[in-house]
Amino acid sequence: MTSGIDRDATLSDLGEFGLIGQISGIVASTAPGEDVLVGPGDDAAVLRVRKGHVVVSTDVMVEGRHFRRDWAEALDVGHRAAAQNLSDINAMGGRAQWLTVGLAAPADLPAAWALDFTRGFAEECALVGAGLVGGDVSRADQIVISVTAIGACTISPVLRSGATPGDVVAICGRQGWAAGGLAVLGRGFRSPRVLVESYRRPAPPYDAGPTAADAGATSMIDISDGLLAEAGHLAAGSGVSLDIETGAFEVPEPLVAVGAALGADPLQFILGGGDDHALLATFPADVPLPDGWTRIGSVRALAAGGQSSVTVDGEVYDGPTGWSHF
């Protein structure tokens, strides 16, 4: 049984407002704090913003494209859905405070799946003290999850557009683990387990964004689609070029093992992998990197008439750089 309902009950059995009632019961146990004047149950949430800059981010997850139910439990999907949005606020140097969720799903989806998803989502939000304050549910042919995160930066947000030649490029958080796990699952295996679990439930460095902002980071981005792809966004936004140094990475043994099993260079998981939600940032060369950050490259000026680019060890990289939806 889950919250008084049969585990075999579907969304159709529970009904829209029955589902909302169950979700509200879960959300109520994670009280979002005194700055939520009106929470779930009205037409819109009402929030009190005391100071600083309001930052907002939205992400969409589609079943079959961003997750598969045979690869991850609902609890894990909830953690992932929250993590990718909390990480976007983190990448601005801010802290997420409130989130809303839109859930569209087939009528025959077990209601327990939706409630376990909500629990996982709420558990991840609790890691940063954020609360789920509203959302919507609807019927669809497959599961679609849309999340909006709202947070605040107490100092100016760190954008993608501030990197300058001479800056160093640095990373915080594990990178390539989720990509290794995805490769394993795609081949029908479940080990190394540490990589599979990293794909199912990422562990973003939630304190690293505000810490980097305080330390003087000039640009920053969340690595959701691939390290080189995100580095490209920083380069384009700042009108510079970035060079990534592979010698700066220590390739963990599980990635070495997967690379050997698949006949692939394990560095490709680090350079082109996403979903770990590590942070990539640039810092002035004379600024000591905060704890947990590792230098992995440098920022270079564009040649006359040149375009922004990302090189690896000074050369054009011809491997996968990251995920693209279209």
Q: Which of 6-15, 176-185, 299-308 has the least mean pLDDT?
A: 6-15
What CATH fold (topology level) applies to the domain 11-153?
A: 60s Ribosomal Protein L30; Chain: A; (3.30.1330)
Q: Which of 20-34, 190-204, 218-232 has the least mean pLDDT?
A: 20-34
pLDDT of residue 15: 77
Phi (first) and psi of residue 297, to 5 degrees: 175, -165
Query: Quick one: CA torsion of 176, 179, 180, 183, rounded to 10 degrees?
Result: -160
Span 177-189, average pLDDT: 94
The larger pLDDT score, comparing residue 275 to residue 44, is at 275
Measured distance CA(78)–CA(113) in Å, rounded: 10
pLDDT-based confidence at 2, cuts 50/70/90? low
Asked whether the predicted pLDDT for residue 27 surpasses 90, the reply is no
pLDDT-based confidence at 29, cuts 50/70/90? low
Q: Which of 12-21, 29-38, 183-192 has the least mean pLDDT?
A: 29-38
Q: Where in the chain is the domain with CATH 3.30.1330.10?
A: 11-153
CA atoms within 13 A on the CB side of 208: 26
pLDDT-based confidence at 325, cuts 50/70/90? low
For helices 16-28 and 111-126, the axis angle rounded to 10 degrees is: 30
% pLDDT > 70, the chain? 91
pLDDT of residue 286: 96
Span 266-287, average pLDDT: 96
Span 295-322, average pLDDT: 91
What CATH fold (topology level) applies to the domain 168-312?
A: Phosphoribosyl-aminoimidazole Synthetase; Chain A, domain 2 (3.90.650)
The larger pLDDT score, comparing residue 202 to residue 45, is at 202
Span 85-104, average pLDDT: 95
Measured distance CA(297)–CA(270) in Å, rounded: 14
Length of the chain as a residue count: 326
- Average pLDDT along the chain: 90
Q: Where in the chain is the domain with CATH 3.90.650.10?
A: 168-312
pLDDT of residue 1: 41
Measured distance CA(128)–CA(209) in Å, rounded: 12
On whether the CB atoms of residues 91 and 279 are closer than 8 A, the answer is yes
Asked whether the predicted pLDDT for residue 313 surpasses 70, the reply is yes
